Structure 1
């Protein structure tokens, strides 16, 4: 190891936590209010990965009522307000995630989150899930002047925990995460249980895992 311990940086939605149930429930609250058919979780799950606005636009389009730009902006503010109130009603960490965080923490890794969710919502969600204290930094879309897939968002997150970019790994579930890692010059592990459409393997991450129990070996292999 170098002087500084290695760093592992996680995406949040679709990587650490299955947030789709609460996000889709919030979408359905707005759809029902507009007298539109709610979307089934199985149908709307792939809508989740690109952010709240994209979820709204894709959800309303699927319900037969495409949104204009102004109406989407109006609904986004309401969506975020409703979502915050129920942010962890049904959201859960993916199987093995907490155990994996503990293992990396016990081994001396610096842990951080780099998400395109707002920092405030990311902080709130991780506190509700009981794991916020595992992370030296929880960085969102407004934390820095840049957000993923800009590699500077990842590099700034690594810097915030005092990490070394040459000893850091990104863990994510989407093209955005893979691109952010590539743009930062960092290796990336992708989880195949997230929200990517098409499958995240399409974007050729350095490692692909199907369960958090596989993350230790994947990350260790990339850091050797």
Structure 2
């Protein structure tokens, strides 16, 4: 789905990833679930591009619902997969601490896990080789994405600022739809390793300039990163 010039979304409000389309090629942000491979193929066909146009995939963190088709893209098409150094082990192995899930309601929670099963979550392959990135890196990829450290949800959670798309991609640093409660609107994300650290990391958004704040779960948000950070803290 096209959101704006250069900016496309794959998936939906339950699980989303993003495609940045430029004259130099395509950068992907996150890889959703394995079944989102078909969403990627449809979006590429809609814009007249192929998988050969993809120059890189950046993971906002290493959780299974963000690495879905990453290994397939790397293995079959040689696309490099970038992840923060602190989450590299998580992306390669799936090893993560037990996290506090937070409040939940039966309907939304079952809906989330049912959707994950339909999108082949049980077949998620970990990423055998990754390119490690760090806070402040500007990657040599279409759109010149900037890595912004957002530890808390996981040690290596990041936001990705892409000025050409007027967007910042926040992964699970925050959400606009809690997959466990169904609650809509700006709020902290569930499944967070260190909630206090995640809240402190919201400061890192405030200095960014963008019109789109794009989470891995929930509807795309129009508004400044500083306004979004303030609203999440108040939620």
Normalising to structure 2: TM-score of the pair?
Answer: 0.31
Tell which has more relative contact order, 1 or 2 (C-alpha 8 A, sep 6+): 1
Q: Which one has the bigger strand percentage?
A: 2
Q: Which one has the bigger helix percentage?
A: 1
Normalising to structure 1: TM-score of the pair?
Answer: 0.32
